Amino acid sequence: MGCLIRCGSRHIQCKTSQDLARQRLGTFPDFAGKVRFASGEQLSSIPCFLAKSICREQGAMDMAVSDAFSEYYTELLEGTYDCVDRIVLNAFFPFAQTGGGVRNWWRRLHGDDLTLDDEHLREMAGTFSRRLHAFCAKQGIPIIEAQARDRKHELAQPYEPNDPKFCGLFFVIKSNAPAPVWEVKRNGEGRITEIRHRKSWPYVRHFFFHLIDQEWGHVTIRMCGYPPFGAQVILNGHEWVERLARRKRVVAVKNGNCFIEGSDFSKISRLAAELNRVETIARLRKLCERWIYHTCLCFALPHVDRERSGFAYQYSVFQLELSRNLLFRRGTTMDEVYQKLIDRTRVPLALKHLKTIFGFSHRPHQIAKRGRERTEVFKAVQAQSYDLTVFKIKWGNLTLKIYDKGGRVLRIEVVVHNAKELRSGKMLDRLPALLARMRDILVRFLGTIQAAHVSFLDVGAFEGLTEPTTRGTRRLAGIDLNKARNRHVVDAVVELSTRPNGFTVAQLAEAVRQRSGQDANTYSARNAAYDAAKMLGKMLLRRIERSRRYAVDPPAVRTLCAYLLLREKIIKPLLAGIVRPPGRPPKVHTTLDQHYVALREELRRTFQTIGLAAT
């Protein structure tokens, strides 16, 4: 592997196998008759036009982007920081992504393609496995087999070395998983007629190399045993920040993958911001080059074979996690704020994923040991922890979560299960743009949550909502919430307001049908388009430029949620309590129940005064 030399502000890369391959590889025809380029390696230097774009994105990332939720509770917060969590990079050999490329690579490796068949491909996979097992047995490195649903990272934790200066491979896991496998078709004369992926991906052996890197901590490299040996590099940004803080003598107390109370959040925030800079691209590429060839691929392709065939990986972003962590001054205050947020937004946002794991019954004020154990759930929860409630919204390959960590930290997290969902490119050079897009999603999500959490109505809002509006020369009816159809539309719009990329008319129609129980003939996309036009006239929707999608801004969410809360939490419970005879009183009266009882009695006396009978 070549070395990376820093000279002033420039990086000079020595000659490596990638450079030699870049000189040799040219175009090759695939089986469709098209001409494709094999030299798909990443550039050693970023072009000027791309560097300017990245610098603009980096400047935006370096600035702390505030959100409505954090600003509203700023007096209750002791500190806050943003950090990249899980990073998963795909490593692939671009020359072998087509059948023609595989054939040319095999010719470079063996001199001809006479031995290119399914049997020899399986033989390469077997050689990989035998060499790895022999090496682990000689070096005393444990290697175990795991099932598909096992959490590989947790299996490796008992084997992590205690020596803080350890650097290298310490554990290997083998497991079966589906993967694209090439199959070679030959005619009766023995000539190759087609090289293609199998229609159904077979289960093949994958190896998980767990190693310790001095800069990035625990890193996992997952590699497929079949050529062209696709791999994934899995790491966590919190471990990089923790090691950087240790070198700079910054106080950092870490619980899992989160810095908790006792840490210097202001300095941690500045260190974590370094991951948003363009220099992270070079750090990640250097990490991959440092381990993937000499620790993993060497068992399948020795250095001589790799150099002769021009095998070189290229890297793209597959999964990313970005979190905003809020440290409250008191754990009880955080718990109260969080539980009220869930109670007020669960119905408007149609939360289906809400899970509570019980631990201690009380959170600490300042001391972490405060609290008493809940004996009734002791068997279910072995580790001592506080009640953990996970607030989750999932849209396709994007997941938005809120949950508590430690005693006083509230985490808001954006999880991208496939970077293609962000529509900002997925190559490693696009990492700053991907993080900027995720930060925008995070801020918008918190703005929507805050609007639904703290909602209000302006003076005259009731009258203004039912009045007709005009769009151009078209007269549109108002929004009468006494009609069930309009209420279903408002419910659907509030639920869809958390979609990062907005929503279409078809998605709005589907959400309305789920609430009303109607079919596509009764409520179609045309009906949804008319309802969307009415909400556009009331400034409750915004059309996204250059698209057919709609978005809901936080002020509109605040107004719509106020209507829903007013109807569902005040008017309906009060009227139901007046009309229906009082039943058996509940054993436990909450604060909200006491308010309802007082309002119901006062409203009954008001009806008697004005001579109104409730029936």
Side-chain half-sphere exposure of 388, counting CA atoms within 13 A: 13
Q: Residue type for 55, please?
A: C
Q: For residues 592 and 599, is the Cβ–Cβ distance under 8 A?
A: no
- Torsion sign across C-alpha atoms 143, 147, 153, 157: negative
Q: Token pair of 300, please? A: 């399948």
What is the DSSP secondary-structure string of 17-35?
HHHHHHHH--EEE-TTS-E
Q: How far apart are CA 158 and CA 424, in angstroms?
A: 38
Tell me 2's DSSP state: -
Burial of 425 (0-12, 13-18, 19+ CB in 10 A): middle
Backbone phi and psi for residue 597, each to the nearest 5 degrees, phi listed first = -65, -45
Q: How far apart are CA 30 and CA 109, in angstroms?
A: 19
Tell me 430's DSSP state: G
Say whether 151 sits in a helix, a strand or coil.
coil
Q: How far apart are CA 333 and CA 331, in angstroms?
A: 5
In this predicted structure, the answer to whether residue 283 has a pLDDT above a threshold of 70 is: yes
Kind of pairing between the strands at 469-471 and 474-476: antiparallel
Q: How far apart are CA 343 and CA 454, in angstroms?
A: 12
For the chain, the C-alpha Rg in angstroms (whole number) is 30
Q: Tell me which residue of 320, 324, 322, 334 sits closest to 406, measured CA to CA.
A: 334
Q: How far apart are CA 549 and CA 241, in angstroms?
A: 38
Backbone phi and psi for residue 366, each to the nearest 5 degrees, phi listed first = -135, -25
In this predicted structure, the answer to whether residue 8 has a pLDDT above a threshold of 60 is: no
- Give percent of the chain with pLDDT exceeding 70: 75
In this predicted structure, the answer to whether residue 301 has a pLDDT above a threshold of 90 is: yes
Domains plus CATH for the chain? 4-324 (no CATH), 455-615 (1.10.10)
Q: How far apart are CA 192 and CA 195, in angstroms?
A: 8
pLDDT at residue 362 in the model: 45
Q: For residues 393 and 378, is the Cβ–Cβ distance under 8 A?
A: no
Residue with tokens 């696009």: 430
In this predicted structure, the answer to whether residue 338 has a pLDDT above a threshold of 90 is: no
Q: Mind spelling out the 3-state secondary structure of 483-552? A: CHHHHHHHHHHHHHCCCCCCECHHHHHHHHHHHHCCCCCCCCHHHHHHHHHHHHHCCCCEECCCCCCEEC
**385-422: pLDDT as tens digits:** 455 677 888 888 899 888 888 778 999 999 999 999 89
Q: How far apart are CA 505 and CA 182, in angstroms?
A: 42
Q: List alpha helices for 292-380, DSSP H.
A: 303-309, 331-345
pLDDT at residue 611 in the model: 64
Q: How far apart are CA 53 and CA 458, in angstroms?
A: 42
Residue 461 Cα distances to 454, 478, 488, 494, 559, angstroms: 17, 12, 19, 18, 9
Q: For residues 64 and 256, is the Cβ–Cβ distance under 8 A?
A: no
pLDDT at residue 576 in the model: 66
**573-593: pLDDT as tens digits:** 666 666 665 666 666 667 767
- Give percent of the chain with pLDDT exceeding 90: 45
Q: Token pair of 175, please? A: 């497991």
User: Is the pTM of the predicted complex or chain greater than 0.85?
Assistant: no
**525-537 vs 484-496: helix axis angle to the nearest 10?**
80
Say whether 176 sits in a helix, a strand or coil.
strand
Higher pLDDT, 332 or 56: 332
- Compute the mean pLDDT over every residue in the chain, rounded to the nearest whole number: 80
pLDDT at residue 352 in the model: 52
Measure CA of the first residue to CA of the last residue in the chain; give whole Å: 84
Q: For residues 330 and 365, is the Cβ–Cβ distance under 8 A?
A: yes
**23-39: pLDDT as tens digits:** 433 333 333 333 333 33
**100-159: pLDDT as tens digits:** 999 999 999 999 999 999 999 999 999 999 999 999 999 999 999 998 888 898 899 999
In this predicted structure, the answer to whether residue 527 has a pLDDT above a threshold of 80 is: yes
pLDDT at residue 99 in the model: 92
* DSSP bridge pairs for 360: 373, 386
User: Other CB atoms closer than 10 Å to residue 303's CB: what's the count?
Assistant: 13
pLDDT at residue 15 in the model: 42
In 141-273, DSSP assigns E strands to: 143-145, 168-178, 182-186, 192-197, 203-213, 217-224, 231-236, 254-255, 258-259
Q: Residue type for 40, please?
A: G
Q: How far apart are CA 182 and CA 548, in angstroms?
A: 40
Q: For residues 531 and 523, is the Cβ–Cβ distance under 8 A?
A: no
In this predicted structure, the answer to whether residue 192 has a pLDDT above a threshold of 60 is: yes
pLDDT band at 368 (very low <50, low <70, confident <90, very high): very low
Q: Token pair of 251, please? A: 């106080």
Q: What is the mean pLDDT of residues 502-520?
A: 91
**52-107: pLDDT as tens digits:** 444 444 444 444 578 888 888 899 999 999 999 999 999 999 999 999 999 999 99
In this predicted structure, the answer to whether residue 284 has a pLDDT above a threshold of 80 is: yes
**148-189: pLDDT as tens digits:** 888 898 899 999 999 989 999 999 999 999 999 999 999 988
What is the DSSP secondary-structure string of 361-387?
SS--SS-TT---B-GGGTTT--S--B-
Kind of pairing between the strands at 143-145 and 168-178: parallel
Q: For residues 359 and 369, is the Cβ–Cβ distance under 8 A?
A: no
Q: How wide is the angle at C-alpha 458 spanned by C-alphas 457 and 464, nearest 5°?
A: 100
